Amino acid sequence: MIGLIVFLVLWGLVVGALARLALPGPDPMGILPTIGLGLAGSFLGGLVAGLPWARSAGFVFSLIGAIVVLYLYRRFVQHRPLTRG
């Protein structure tokens, strides 16, 4: 059980950090919101991959899901566009 929790924390951290690197602009979030972003993106990626193809998300779908979650967070919670222009 402890191994699963450690894996999920590391997975969320890596996926969330890469999603934050993929989108330009500053994000004033710490390590816990980054982990949450990665886990939410993995969940969304799992839904997208699981419905049509009946498979697990994998790294690519998790990253794409985290990027979408981050974009939606910036757009609707922070009320700012993706770029400054």
pLDDT in tens, 10-67: 999 999 999 999 988 777 888 999 999 999 999 998 888 877 777 777 888 899 999 9
pTM: predicted TM-score of the whole model, two decimal places: 0.84
Count Cβ atoms below 10 Å from residue 14 Cβ, excluding itself: 17
Q: Is residue 53 part of a domain?
A: yes
Q: Is residue 82 part of a domain?
A: no
In which domain, by residue range, is 52 found?
Answer: 2-77
Structure-block tokens of residue 26: 């500053």
Number of independent structural domains in the chain: 1
C-alpha torsion sign, points 67, 70, 76, 79:
negative
**In three state form, how does the secondary structure of 64-84 look?**
HHHHHHHHHHHHHHCCCCCCC
